[in-house]
Amino acid sequence: MVKKLWGGRFKKKIDSDFDKFQSSIQYDWRLAEYDIYHSMIHSLALLKMGVLKPQEEKKLNAALKEILDEIKIGQFKYNPESEDIHTEIQNRLTEKLGDLALKLHSFRSRNDQIVFDERYYCVIETVKILGLLLEVLGIFSELANKHKEDFFIGYTHTQRAQIIKFEDYLLAYYGMFVRDFERMERFLKNLEIPVGCGALAGSYIKKEAYKKAIEETIEFIIKGVNERYRDKRWFKLSENPLSDVSDRDFLIEFLSILSILQMHLSRLAEDLIIYSTKEFNFLILPEEFCTGSSLLPHKKNPDFLELLRGYTSRIYGDLVSLLTLMKGLPLAYNRDMQLDKEPLFSSVEIIKEELKILAKFIKEVKLNKKVISKVIKEDQNLYTTEVAEYLTEKGIPFLKAHEIAGKLIRFAEEKNKKIKELDNKILKRFSLNKKIISEIFNPNFVIKRRRSIDKEAENKLKALLGFKNA
């Protein structure tokens, strides 16, 4: 059995099934890099406290960097019998340095490390997700630009509602992803990564020692973070260790943000699935993101979109998992909290894959302009709001005008006629005439009447995000 970080007071050996059950190395290896950073800060603080000699700190630091290099080039292999990543790295150091390595854990607890590692993991992954989201935003923005002049149909209740521009439609999702982006930036800005919690009651290490240790290592630690987001103020001394070791708010907040983003993805997926049916035929999906059937040779299925919609189940499930986990846990740390990691990792990895593929996918979706044109030409209902509004401008109180327009539609349907074909005698009953109708039943008229997307606001944002077509 692999060496553990505790055990002196125990007479019996740990049950081997339980040992496997309780170990977390199979998933918390993802925290290896961050654990190294914590140890780098900590060993420097121990130097400043006089617990390590300069030569000792140097050796520890070098050994830590050796392991870090393995991690960075993807060569890090963990012993599956280690209890967790903290134990694994400690044992590696002991192999390399003998008794000296045993000094590293002075005055610190794994609780310190978990808090640090998990929060820095969130920082790094949030930055990655922001990058992927930016990519997606850029493509939506480009597409919107490209489709400035193309008509589209706006739906409510999955029923045709009004004529819009395809740009409007694309910018609606653009708007959602901007909200996600901003929410994630706020989250990142408010994240804190405390050191010095101890097990729950703080550490013997002096404030000054830790502060200096942070100052001297910070450049090294954050050099990989995108400059746009890099923020040295993330790292700080724990102001309230009891609270810090038992806090998982940031994870719930993070997964809530991802859940909202995922919900947006599910809506986009649903829309595109519907729009790409043979019946709608508004959009044509790129074949390289579809699959076929093993029985039905003709099938070209929108699998990417279905999986995109389906993964909502997992992100929501992970959020519920974290909420359930934390309900009613007494202070401070409880072992239950170890189970926060798999939902976190799972959600982060799913979201990243989705965004990566979405960017490639959405670029290749084609608008079927011919079909849209036909709808706009043939469906007279798309112009009736303007009929009611016209009557209102003529002085008929709106709710009456609305009723008149409704009755006109019903009349035309019952007579099985197009409104455009009705003669002036009939139209007069509805306070209308052919000239008005022909003016109104025009997509450009309809679009122009309504205030469209606020391009000014959009352009400001684009500039801010550094998009070219701002």
Q: Pattern 21-50, binding to its own copies, x per CB under 8 A?
A: xx----------------------------
Rounded to whole angstroms, the Cα distance separating 205 from 237 reads 11
- By CB under 8 A, name the one of 122, 136, 164, 367 that touches its own copies: 164
The dihedral sign for the CA sequence 198, 204, 208, 210: negative
- By CB under 8 A, name the one of 41, 402, 431, 462 that touches its own copies: 402
Closest approach, Cβ 456 to its own copies, in A, equals 8
Does residue number 357 form part of the binding site for its own copies (CB under 8 A)?
Answer: yes
- By CB under 8 A, name the one of 1, 13, 75, 223 that touches its own copies: 13
Is 38 in the active site? no
* Assigned token pair, 40: 């780098």
- Residue 216: which of 97, 103, 47 has the closest Cα? 47
Chain centroid to CA 238: how far?
28
- By CB under 8 A, name the one of 15, 69, 95, 215 that touches its own copies: 15
Does residue number 80 form part of the binding site for its own copies (CB under 8 A)?
Answer: no
Is 293 in the active site? yes
Does residue number 294 form part of the binding site for its own copies (CB under 8 A)?
Answer: yes
Chain centroid to CA 389: how far?
41
Q: Pattern 86-125, binding to its own copies, x per CB under 8 A?
A: x---x--------xxxxxxxxxxxxx--------------
- Residue 312: which of 365, 264, 360 has the closest Cα? 264
CB nearer to its own copies: give 32 or 45.
45
Q: Active-site residue among 293, 313, 373, 438?
A: 293
CB nearer to its own copies: give 156 or 224.
156
Cα–Cα distances in Å, from 176 out to 132, 133, 137, 448, 455? 15, 11, 10, 24, 16
CB nearer to its own copies: give 227 or 297.
297
Does residue number 295 form part of the binding site for its own copies (CB under 8 A)?
Answer: yes
Rounded to whole angstroms, the Cα distance separating 287 from 391 reads 48
Q: Pattern 447-466, binding to its own copies, x per CB under 8 A?
A: --xxxxxx--xx--------
CB nearer to its own copies: give 226 or 334.
334
- Strands 193-195, 159-165: pairing is unpaired
Neighbours of 176 (CB within 10 A): 18
Residues 364-393 that bind its own copies (CB under 8 A): 379, 381-382, 384-385, 387-389, 392-393
Does residue number 336 form part of the binding site for its own copies (CB under 8 A)?
Answer: yes
Residues 301-320 that bind its own copies (CB under 8 A): 301-304, 306-307, 309-314, 316-320
- By CB under 8 A, name the one of 143, 184, 237, 372 that touches its own copies: 237
Give yes or no for a contact between 37 and 217, defined as CB atoms under 8 angstroms apart: yes
- By CB under 8 A, name the one of 70, 369, 403, 417 that touches its own copies: 403
Q: Pattern 197-216, binding to its own copies, x per CB under 8 A?
A: -xxxxxxxxxx---------
Does residue number 277 form part of the binding site for its own copies (CB under 8 A)?
Answer: yes
Binding segment for its own copies (CB under 8 A), chosen from 68-76, 215-223, 226-234, 352-360, is 352-360
Give yes or no for a contact between 449 and 389, defined as CB atoms under 8 angstroms apart: yes
Does residue number 429 form part of the binding site for its own copies (CB under 8 A)?
Answer: no
Closest approach, Cβ 96 to its own copies, in A, equals 14
Closest approach, Cβ 44 to its own copies, in A, equals 16
CB nearer to its own copies: give 62 or 201.
201
* Assigned token pair, 375: 């709808």
Does residue number 142 form part of the binding site for its own copies (CB under 8 A)?
Answer: no
Beta-bridge partners for 153 = 163
- By CB under 8 A, name the one of 249, 421, 423, 439 that touches its own copies: 249
Does residue number 157 form part of the binding site for its own copies (CB under 8 A)?
Answer: yes
Does residue number 243 form part of the binding site for its own copies (CB under 8 A)?
Answer: yes
Does residue number 138 form part of the binding site for its own copies (CB under 8 A)?
Answer: no
Kindly provide the b/e burial profile for residues 232-242, where b requires at least 16 CB atoms within 10 angstroms of the residue's own CB.
eebbebbeebb
Catalytic residues: 157, 293
